[in-house]
């Protein structure tokens, strides 16, 4: 045992040296020559040491590191339960399918039921709704927050409405007070897609909580450009023990058993229970109460996540500071609409969303083309208007499978005129200044 620990200590020390030699060396930023990426990995030797440490244990699937990460993330968020999964998209899938469970009785979402959402976002917020056979109802967004126009919620409601599911756009919380009141009035579920907003805060009646924890279920993504990374990874979290139990079932093949990996007979009725039409005493570890999936992560990913959690407060603070620097440097630039934080919120920004006014004298593509030429990465607001994409071709032709409230004018405006640049912690003051300089020069030169 002593030899094992000695060898491990040597390996981990060499890992730290490798990080310092290979990853810690930063090249000096050269405006116009160095790339300004919209996002990227933010890590040091601790992530690599944890990764190697967990690999030496060779647990491979979820195990001790996973359980540690789930407990710590739940504590950081201020919720009771957290289930880690292999991506943010899988987290959205699990969150939605959780609400389809027969264990929820009359409140379960059934095929043909409606779910209110927005089209201006990432497709996997909406994909689970369609995959299950429910009906997404698309509502427009409001400017300059680029989140749902809550004035359209009542128009979107019908007797078939069962839930609201949408994201906090690029970290800017939607109007949670209005949405929660609407959901309470009509007894609807609320899923907060928190994949772009880890660390954002919202205050209602003097109570401040993190986004993702106000609704019934919240989700996160740990893909590299996000607030924290596991490479691939995501999480579903809730304060409801029944919802958590259902989520774990769907994540783990749909099984009825809730034993952790490597643990047997937590329920103390492994060979004594009666389930469905199975024989009395059928092994509970192989009883399935849902048509589920296998969406678990590896323990190695969770080990990286544990090191990332140590930096999460620092990451959130850096994103807020970068947003503020960009906003202060661009707020007087003609032709642009800049992102403004929702009232009663403190966003943990994922990106800095800019929209070019229709009478600016230049287009979004002209501005982004100029920025890309100057080595500044830009990204559109994901799908822009999801209903315009080829995946909706068949549904558009039949006029079935979804519903639109109004004309989605602002959604189309964002699709045509909106883009965003990065605020991730790897941004330096010089990078921010270069982005500000390029945007200012172009806009001032081309404004009518």
CATH code for the domain in which residue 150 is found = 3.40.640.10
Q: Are residues 390 and 437 in the same domain?
A: yes
The confidence score (pLDDT) of residue 258 equals 80
Please say which residue of 255, 273, 301 terminates a domain.
301
Q: Is the dihedral of CA 236, 302, 75, 255 positive or negative?
A: positive
Residue 146 and residue 381 in contact, taking contact as beta carbons nearer than 8 Å: yes
Instruction: Encode 369-395: b = buried (16+ Cβ within 10 Å), e = exposed.
Output: ebbeebbbbbbbbbbbbbbbeeebeee
Indicate the angle between helix axes 64-77 and 299-309, nearest 10 degrees.
40
The confidence score (pLDDT) of residue 268 equals 81
Q: In Å, what is the CA distance from 18 to each residue of 23, 46, 193?
A: 8, 12, 37
- Expressed as residue numbers, the domain containing 109 is 52-301
The confidence score (pLDDT) of residue 1 equals 73
With respect to residue 343, please indicate whether it lies within any of the assigned structural domains. yes
Could you give the number of structural domains in the chain? 2
With respect to residue 209, please indicate whether it lies within any of the assigned structural domains. yes
The confidence score (pLDDT) of residue 437 equals 98
Q: Are residues 191 and 327 in the same domain?
A: no
Q: Are residues 224 and 336 in the same domain?
A: no
Q: Are residues 290 and 322 in the same domain?
A: no
Query: Which residues form the catalytic set?
Result: 226
Please say which residue of 301, 325, 349 terminates a domain.
301
The confidence score (pLDDT) of residue 264 equals 82
Residue 435's CATH number: 3.90.1150.10
Whole-prediction pTM:
0.96
Helix (H) or strand (E) holding 46: helix 45-57
Residue 357, exposed/middle/buried by CB under 10 A (0-12, 13-18, 19+)? middle
Cis peptide before 392 (omega within 30 of 0): no
Q: Where are the beta strands (DSSP E) in 149-213?
A: 161-167, 189-193, 201-204, 207-210
With respect to residue 69, please indicate whether it lies within any of the assigned structural domains. yes
Q: Are residues 441 and 321 in the same domain?
A: yes
With respect to residue 23, please indicate whether it lies within any of the assigned structural domains. no
**Rounded Cα–Cα distance for residues 223 and 92 (Å):** 14
For the stretch 311-353, pLDDT in tens is: 999 999 999 999 999 999 999 999 999 999 999 999 999 999 9
Question: Which portions of the chain are predicted below pLDDT 70?
Answer: 261, 448
């Amino acid at each position: 045992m002593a030899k094992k620990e000695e060898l491990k200590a040597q390996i981990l020390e060499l890992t730290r040296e490798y990080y310092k030699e290979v990853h810690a060396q930063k090249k000096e930023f050269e405006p116009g020559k160095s790339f300004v990426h919209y996002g990227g990995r933010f890590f040091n030797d601790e992530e690599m040491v944890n990764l190697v440490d967990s690999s030496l244990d060779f647990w491979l699937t979820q195990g001790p590191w996973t359980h540690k990460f789930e407990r710590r993330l739940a504590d950081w968020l201020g919720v009771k339960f957290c289930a880690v999964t292999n991506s943010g998209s899988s987290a959205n899938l699990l969150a939605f399918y959780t609400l389809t469970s027969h264990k929820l009785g009359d409140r379960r979402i059934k095929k043909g039921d409606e779910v209110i959402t927005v089209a201006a976002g990432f497709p996997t917020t909406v994909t689970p709704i369609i995959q299950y056979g429910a009906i997404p109802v698309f509502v427009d967004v409001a400017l300059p927050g680029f989140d749902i126009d809550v004035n359209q919620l009542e128009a979107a409601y019908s007797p078939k409405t069962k839930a609201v599911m949408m994201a906090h756009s690029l970290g800017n919380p939607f109007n949670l007070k209005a949405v929660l009141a609407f959901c309470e009035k009509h007894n609807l579920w609320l899923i907060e897609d928190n994949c772009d907003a880890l660390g954002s805060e919202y205050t209602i009646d003097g109570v401040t909580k993190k986004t993702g924890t106000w609704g019934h279920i919240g989700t996160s993504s740990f893909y590299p450009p996000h607030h924290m990374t596991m490479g691939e990874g995501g999480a579903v979290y809730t304060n409801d023990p029944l919802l958590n139990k259902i989520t774990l079932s769907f994540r783990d093949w749909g099984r009825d058993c809730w034993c952790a990996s490597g643990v047997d007979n937590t329920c103390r009725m492994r060979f004594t229970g009666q389930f469905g039409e199975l024989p009395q005493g059928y092994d509970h570890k192989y009883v399935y109460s849902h048509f589920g999936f296998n969406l678990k992560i590896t323990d190695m990913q969770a080990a990286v996540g544990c090191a990332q959690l140590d930096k999460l407060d620092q990451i959130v603070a850096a994103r807020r500071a970068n947003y503020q620097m960009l906003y202060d440097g661009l707020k007087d630039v003609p032709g642009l609409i800049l992102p403004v934080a929702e009232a009663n919120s403190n966003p943990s920004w994922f990106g800095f969303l800019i929209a070019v006014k229709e009478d600016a004298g230049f287009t979004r593509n002209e501005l982004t083309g100029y920025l890309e030429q100057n080595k500044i990465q830009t990204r559109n607001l994901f799908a822009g208007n999801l209903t315009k994409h080829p995946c909706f071709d068949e549904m558009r032709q039949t006029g079935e499978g979804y519903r639109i409230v109004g004309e989605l004018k602002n959604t189309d405006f964002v699709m045509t005129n909106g883009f965003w640049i990065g605020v991730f912690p790897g941004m330096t003051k010089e990078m921010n200044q270069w982005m500000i300089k390029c945007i200012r020069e172009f806009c001032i030169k081309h404004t009518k």
